[in-house]
Amino acid sequence: MKIQSFEEFDIWNKAVELASIVYNITNKDKFEKDWWLRDQIRRSIVSVSSNIAEWFERNNNVEFIRFLKIAKWSCWEARTQLIIAKKVWYLVDEDFDSLKGEFIDLSNKIGWFIQYLSKHKEQWSFAKK
């Protein structure tokens, strides 16, 4: 498998899409006025895709696994902030439930990729442009 750019990773694309959704939701009503929580959840979710992209220039599987773990932790951090946002009534149940499921799905996919890379390090190669 030859990867040309970080944009080819499904987990990167999913993280970027989720960041877009978070930005839209945090621009609404009370959420947009709580600049600390709003900015913190945004930084957390942006960190997921950023860590995947940052690794790509390093082109090293050991480093990639480390950066993927950081991305996964950032996903958990954002999910925690999402729970807080629901508890203080910044999110309606429908938005919370949808986002929670997306965060769990992304976290699981990153975890599966970490497991795959750990077992198949020698089979993974990258051909950067």
Condensed to tens digits (0 to 9), the pLDDT of residues 71-103 reads 999 999 999 999 999 999 998 899 899 999 999
Question: Which CATH fold would you assign to the domain 2-126?
Answer: de novo design (two linked rop proteins) (1.20.1440)
pTM for this model (two decimals): 0.86
Distance CA 81, CA 55 (A): 25
Name the region of 70 (left: φ>0; alpha: ψ -120 to 50; beta: rest). Answer: alpha
Q: Measuring CA to CA, which residue among 49, 68, 63, 60 is closest to residue 113?
A: 68
Q: Where are the domains of the chain?
A: 2-126
Tokens describing residue 84: 């807080």
